[in-house]
Amino acid sequence: MKRIKAVYPGSFDPPTNGHLDLIERGSKIFDELVVAILQNPEKAPLFSVADRRRMLEAMTTDFDNVSVDTFEGLTVDYALHVEASALLRGIRAISDYEYELQMALMNRKLQPGIETVFMMPAEKYSYVSSRLVREVVQLGGSVSCLVPDLVAQKLREKMDVAHKFENSQKPSGKPSIEAKSKSRKKKV
Ligand code: PNS
């Protein structure tokens, strides 16, 4: 019987519970599933590809038929390279559909032999995206129910480093220009 291998491509910056939900669903219908992180030199990601790979590997240890890899260039070329015949993508809401349809049709044009399979994550994750997770964390909100614990921990570490850097850039003890001009006005 033909074994079906699928690639689940994405940025995963950071991986969320929605991604994990989709990986679990994908692992049940495909014989093999490769979670493939795009290395995109044009984007400035929050997490390095190596960090994202480590997080995804830790998140997927329980799934025997799931592996994690990274790729550059076209997704369909990567899929051919690993001998996969399907791409897995998630659709959370109708707003995802237009972009996903366009991408699926372009991928089909490029490689007619590779099918895109859409799956829906659990409704409770239908509003969760990596972009919103990054935004909430950067503004000091909690994302503990939206990402696995290890990702939440990594996000906290990132924010601590960012805050320490910000603080180190602030002038220490010197009065600001505004404060100086106020004190001059008082003397007059
Ligand atoms: O998690 P994302 O950012 O929605 O994933 C988008 C991704 C990586 C699947 C998409 O940008 C992609 O496939 N990029 C690789 C380049 C490519 O194949 N482009 C043509 C697709 S139509």
Tens of pLDDT, residue by residue over 94-110, are: 999 999 999 999 999 99
Determine the pLDDT at residue 161: 76
Full-model pTM: 0.88
Q: Of all protein residues, whose CA lies closest to atom 19 belonging to ligand 1?
A: 74
Both tokens of 68, joined, read 């994690």
Task: Looking at the CA of residue 75, tell me the nearest atom of ligand 1.
Answer: 18
Q: Which range is least confidently modeled, 9-23, 54-68, 95-109, 154-168?
A: 154-168
> Active-site positions?
19, 43, 92, 130
Confidence of residue 165 (pLDDT cuts 50, 70, 90): low
CA 76 to centroid of ligand 1, rounded, Å:
10
Judge whether 117 and 87 are in contact, CB under 8 Å. yes
Both tokens of 101, joined, read 């349809």
Determine the pLDDT at residue 2: 85
Candidate of 38, 77, 118 to mutate for ligand 1, largest count of ligand atoms within 8 Å of Cβ: 38
**Strand order across the 5-10 sheet:** 66-71, 32-38, 5-10, 86-90, 115-119
Determine the pLDDT at residue 163: 67
Confidence of residue 188 (pLDDT cuts 50, 70, 90): very low
Confidence of residue 21 (pLDDT cuts 50, 70, 90): very high
Determine the pLDDT at residue 169: 73
CA 121 to centroid of ligand 1, rounded, Å:
19
CA 36 to centroid of ligand 1, rounded, Å:
10
Q: Of all protein residues, whose CA lies closest to atom 20 belonging to ligand 1?
A: 74
* pLDDT tens digits for range 75-88: 999 999 999 999 99
Q: Of all protein residues, whose CA lies closest to atom 1 belonging to ligand 1?
A: 10
User: Residues with Cβ within 6 A of ligand 1?
Assistant: 9-11, 38, 74-75, 103, 106-107
